[in-house]
Copies of this chain bind each other. A is one copy, B any other.
């Protein structure tokens, strides 16, 4: 698999700038030529390495997006005792990168999920797989927190995960407008309130 060739270097260059442009302009609004122009490469090079634009994008999803989602949104949460604190920090960090107009991969996932809805079913499946992994890990982190006494035992962990992801996806849409920093601050204050409502209500009898 690991063809220690020049091949890999070029493919990775294409994929990283591809993701950049797909993220900022959208998949359908980014032509293959746009990516190649930025790299001073030609169509021949592209179609030598990739079957099609769709195949190219799917490889980006699996090689870049999936791994980034894991390292930024999943790995920081799992394996700790108190998931609520971890979730708060994780969201805070992710939104902070968003404030600085850097690539926030949660937002990337959200954008692509809306862009491909009802259009490219194949790509949609890959995107949704990534999302599912995130969701499952968030649910199990909450359940573990419940087991360890950091989350109230009446909390519906699946519902909480849905709500958390929803709010996160949504706030990224709002942050493209005016004063993203202020919006982040407001969002985080209410997120903390919500997370507090998940804490154990009283000392168990």
Is A160 interfacial (CB 8 A cutoff)? yes
In the complex, which range does the number of interface residues on chain A fall in? 35 or more
Contact pick for A26, options B110, B119, B176, B197, CB 8 Å: B119
CA A176 to CA B166, docked complex, whole Å? 12
Q: Smallest Cβ distance from A73 to chain B, in angstroms?
A: 14
User: What is the interface of chain A mostly: helix, strand, loop, or mixed?
Assistant: helix
Cβ proximity bits A187-203 to B, threshold 8 Å, 1 near / 0 not: 10111011011000000
Contact A174 B165 (CB under 8 A): yes
CA A194 to CA B101, docked complex, whole Å? 29
Cβ–Cβ < 8 Å partners of A197 in chain B: 193-194, 196-197
On whether A162 and B190 interact (CB within 8 A), knowing A119-B29, A170-B167, A170-B171, the answer reads yes
Cβ–Cβ < 8 Å partners of A28 in chain B: 26, 28-29
Is A147 interfacial (CB 8 A cutoff)? no
Contact B190 A193 (CB under 8 A): no
Is A6 interfacial (CB 8 A cutoff)? no
On whether A163 and B190 interact (CB within 8 A), knowing A110-B114, A168-B170, the answer reads yes
Contact A174 B167 (CB under 8 A): no
- Quick one: closest B residue to A110, CB to CB? B173
- Quick one: closest B residue to A158, CB to CB? B186
Is A118 interfacial (CB 8 A cutoff)? yes
Cβ–Cβ < 8 Å partners of A165 in chain B: 170, 174
CA A62 to CA B160, docked complex, whole Å? 36
CA A28 to CA B171, docked complex, whole Å? 24
Cβ–Cβ < 8 Å partners of A159 in chain B: 185-187, 189-190
Contact A166 B163 (CB under 8 A): no
Cβ–Cβ < 8 Å partners of A169 in chain B: 166, 169-170, 173-174
Other contacts beyond A117-B176, A163-B194, A165-B170: 5, CB < 8 A: A25-B118, A26-B119, A111-B114, A114-B115, A166-B170
